[in-house]
Chain A
Amino acid sequence: MSTVSTRPGASRIEPVLRTVAIVVVTAIVMFPVYWMVVSALRPSDESLSFPPPLLPHALEFSSFCQLFAEKPIAHWLMLSTFVASLTVIGTLILVIPAAYALSRLYWVGRSAFGLMLLFTQMMPGAVVVAPVLMLYRSLGWTDNLWALALLHTAFVVPLCAWVLKTSFDSVPKEIIEAALIDGCDRWKVLWLVLLPLTKPGLVAVSVIAFFASWNEFLFASTLITKNDLYTASLGLATLMTQLDTPLFVLMAAGVTFSILPVFFYMAIQRHLLRGLTAGAVKG
């Protein structure tokens, strides 16, 4: 690790300057986050004044009460949780065997499969959204949350396969060979040796899949048309276009919707770094 402070002859003032710069940059980056939270918590009469006070004069939670009382946000969040949970289950079922085959087995076509995964990972959703809608209509799968979860699964498994593969890669070869000597077959190696040793990787994959589905907007907005099937990202987008939603209620909805992903992404930050660059960069 290269450190500035240990360098002989480094000026005393440099750490101070760097600290100030870091604080300033972080403050600028964090300002929209601060504004989002403050706008949800400030008294309602304050939110429409100009210039808006940077520090709220009081904090109140009435916006959240109003949000849950007047908007079906609890229902939306529940449906989002449902779709996201299905996505996690589907992802784990598909990704565990595939990551094992990518990481530990040798077979013809492995790199071609890896390339196909990368292609699908990089493909913009917009490229397929119209044909997917046609396909779903012909199958009668529109306005079906299970089918939406299946689509979310298809779009998140490539990334998750990379994350779990890097996790499997980090298990020492010797442990697997010892298991093989002890008479495990390759299936048992996966279940009894690899999976117990890669729990953090499995957690990371679950978190990625959950919030990929939770945050997704494009497919949800094209495939779901019934109000009572709205997931939270859809519901939130409609609140945004409804002019009768008070601003602080809208902001409270935004905050409510963001709390979970922010918390969990922070927890698995390092895994994400590695996964999103397909393992090429250490996180």
Chain B
Amino acid sequence: MALAPALSGTATEARRRARARRGVVGSRAFPYLLILPMLALEGALVIYPIIRGALFSLETDTGLGLDNYRTMLADPDFWRMIGHTLVFTLSVDVAILTIGLSLALLMNWSFRGRGLVRSLLTIPWAIPEVPVAITFVLMLDPSFGVFNAFLRLFPGVTENPQWLLDPVLAMVVVIAVTVWKGFPFYSLVLLSALQSVPDELYEAGRIDGAGRFALFCHITLPGIRDTLALLAVLAFIYSTQQFTLIWLITGGGPVDATTTLAPAIYMQAFRFYNFPYAGAIAVVGFVISAVATLVFVAAQRRVETSE
């Protein structure tokens, strides 16, 4: 390693010479030129529409104003939608992390076929949302859906439930499908986090006479805490973004029982053609995901510094 300082010395030298040659590539503007095309596209097709949508939300019959927000906040449907969004998002988040972690713990030992199980777990996540919706609608069909056959195995169940016509069952269904599609990914990330917890810690704990539960609470959990926090934010974002599964399975219904944020915006804009009101709800969606992103960045910093 005696060579290293000399090497980096010549490298700085070379860099200085390269810069001295001037030209665009050597100039200070070079990094900015590299990101410019991407910045332009994001500006035009993501950031500009967000601003445009926010401006829509200020448009009223009498000029600019906060009327749409007043209407929104006074609208019981809006608060029902927020309630549905909370129920959906929190249930998906908690279920994804609990099931994901349980499966990761189960898989955290070397067994034959682990590669195969990993690959199989990728499948739900890889299947596009439209076929997923089609499959679950088929399996839940009240007259010949296979889920009814399973349900009939329980004592006392003699009729096929109307899965998608009952407000509570419909919510359970969209939550379950979203979890089914999402949790394998979280499981695989948690599995690699579990594997990065040093073996020596477990050894030391065992020598100190710690039981299995104590090992989990004092070594495993602190070891993956930051990853878990990061994934909680990611799952939150995943569930607030969810549109296609809900839209194709229940259409937000029955009535509005499964209308969360994304379907609500879509419905206001394209069913009722109320763009200003859709814009107001979209601003709520924007604020939620902006805050979630900041929390994500904070969680990410912790994961990086703890490594």
Residue ranges of A at the interface with B (Cβ–Cβ < 8 Å): 1-5, 7, 15, 18-19, 21-22, 25-26, 29-30, 32-33, 35-36, 39, 47-52, 54, 93-95, 97-98, 100-102, 105-107, 109-110, 113, 115-120, 122-135, 150-151, 153-155, 157-158, 161, 174, 177, 180-181, 183, 185-187, 211, 214-215, 217-218, 222, 233, 236-237, 240, 247, 250-251, 253-255, 257-258, 261-262, 264-266, 269, 272-273, 276-278, 280-283
Contacts and interface: CB of A to CB of B under 8 A. Distances in A.
A26 B32 CA distance: 48
CB-based closest 9 A-B pairs: A254-B131, A265-B126, A51-B149, A126-B262, A131-B49, A97-B34, A215-B128, A177-B11, A154-B45
Interface in B239-266: 240-241, 243-244, 248, 261-263, 265-266
A181 B108 CA distance: 46
B193 A154 contact: no
A234 B241 CA distance: 19
A77 B303 CA distance: 41
B191 to A, nearest CB: 10
Given A129-B265, A261-B127, A269-B188, A98 B278 contact: no
A130 B53 contact: yes
B17 to A, nearest CB: 9
A161 B46 CA distance: 16
B106 A247 contact: no
B195 interface: yes
A117 B47 CA distance: 11
19 contacts: A1-B195, A1-B199, A25-B103, A35-B135, A36-B131, A113-B35, A119-B290, A120-B46, A122-B289, A122-B293, A122-B296, A124-B240, A125-B262, A126-B241, A130-B269, A132-B45, A154-B41, A214-B128, A258-B128
B79 interface: no
B202 interface: yes
Interface in B20-49: 21, 23, 25-26, 28, 30-35, 37-39, 41-42, 44-49
Secondary structure of the A contact surface, majority rule: helix
A124 B35 contact: no
A222 B136 CA distance: 24
A26 B121 contact: yes
Contact of B25 (A113, A187, A251, A264): A187
Interface in B123-180: 123-139, 143-144, 146, 148-149, 152, 180
A266 B126 CA distance: 8
A93, A151, A183, A217: most-surrounded residue (chain B CB, <10 A): A217
A196 B265 CA distance: 44
Interface residues of B, number: 116
A187 B234 CA distance: 35
A26 B146 CA distance: 18
Given A107-B31, A130-B269, A261-B128, 15 more contacts: A3-B109, A22-B106, A29-B121, A49-B144, A95-B38, A97-B34, A157-B41, A185-B21, A187-B25, A240-B137, A251-B135, A264-B126, A273-B185, A277-B300, A280-B303
B214 to A, nearest CB: 15
B230 interface: yes
B69 interface: no
Contact of B34 (A7, A50, A98, A255): A98
Interface stretch (B70-78, B90-98, B111-119): B111-119
Contacts of B18: 180, 185-186
Nearest to B118: A269
B42 A157 contact: yes
B282 A127 contact: yes
B246 to A, nearest CB: 11
A277 B234 contact: yes
Contacts of B53: 127-128, 130-131
B192 A21 contact: no
B120 interface: yes
Contacts of B45: 128, 132, 135, 150-151, 154-155
B58 interface: no
Nearest to A50: B144
B7 A177 contact: yes
Nearest to B53: A131
Contacts of A269: 118-119, 122, 188
A235 B306 CA distance: 47
B41 A150 contact: yes
A130 B274 CA distance: 10
Given A155-B46, A251-B134, A276-B185, A126 B195 contact: no
